[in-house]
């Protein structure tokens, strides 16, 4: 594609309007799973580790965020793999257009390894990303508070 406009026109012309929304269901489900897992774990993880990082609140935030981000990434990688496949294929090579049937198809044809394709790269990015996010959250919360 030459630019964003060219990409949109080409996709619409070759695949139709629905192609702009390929993988939307998987994207939404992936985000719900990651955020639910991350935020469900972060505060419990911080309180469990607090004694080990008494004098180092930034390290506590980073370690807890990295652990929670790593678990969230582990839990949602199969859905992210489905999203990527849905978004990166066209025509007859496209997978089933819904998340769970596609996930089942991958499991049956490629096994657990297929479901976790790309896991290492995602873990390297999103594990520490969860730690950085917690540092940023704490920084801006303190900056904006009435302290």
- The predicted-structure confidence for 60-89, as pLDDT tens digits, reads as follows 999 999 999 999 999 999 999 999 888 887
Mean pLDDT value across the chain: 91
Q: Which tokens in the block code for residue 37?
A: 């897992």
**pLDDT of amino acid 19:** 81
Q: Write the DSSP assignment of 45-110 as a string of letters.
A: HHHHHGGGGTT-HHHHHHHHHHHHHHHHHHHHHHHHHHHHHHHT--GGG---SSHHHHHHHHHHHH
Helices (runs of H) and strands (runs of E) counted in the chain? 5, 0
Q: 87-114 burial string, b = 16+ CB within 10 Å, else e?
A: beeeeeebbeeebeebbeebeeeeeeeb
Q: Which tokens in the block code for residue 12?
A: 């619409």
Query: Could you read off the pLDDT of 22-54 as tens digits, one per residue?
Result: 888 999 999 999 999 999 999 999 999 999 999
Rounded Cα distance between 47 and 25, Å, is 34
User: How much is the average pLDDT of 94-122?
Assistant: 90
Q: 44-72 burial string, b = 16+ CB within 10 Å, else e?
A: ebbeeeeeebeeeeeebbbbbbbbbbbbb
Nearest-CA neighbor of 76 among 122, 111, 45? Answer: 122
Residue 91 banded pLDDT, cuts 50, 70, 90: low
């Amino acid at each position: 594609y030459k630019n964003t406009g060219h990409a949109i026109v080409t996709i619409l012309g070759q695949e139709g309007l629905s192609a702009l929304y390929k993988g939307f269901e998987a994207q939404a489900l992936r985000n719900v799973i990651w955020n639910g897992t991350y935020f469900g774990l972060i505060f419990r993880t911080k309180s469990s580790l607090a004694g080990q990082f008494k004098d180092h609140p930034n390290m506590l935030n980073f370690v807890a965020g990295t652990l929670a981000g790593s678990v969230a990434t582990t839990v949602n990688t199969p859905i992210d793999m489905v999203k990527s496949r849905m978004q990166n294929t066209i025509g007859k090579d496209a997978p089933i257009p819904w998340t769970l049937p596609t996930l089942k198809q991958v499991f049956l044809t490629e096994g657990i390894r297929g479901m976790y394709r790309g896991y290492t790269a995602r873990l390297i990015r999103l594990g520490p990303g969860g730690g950085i996010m917690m540092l940023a959250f704490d920084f801006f919360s303190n900056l904006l508070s009435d302290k």
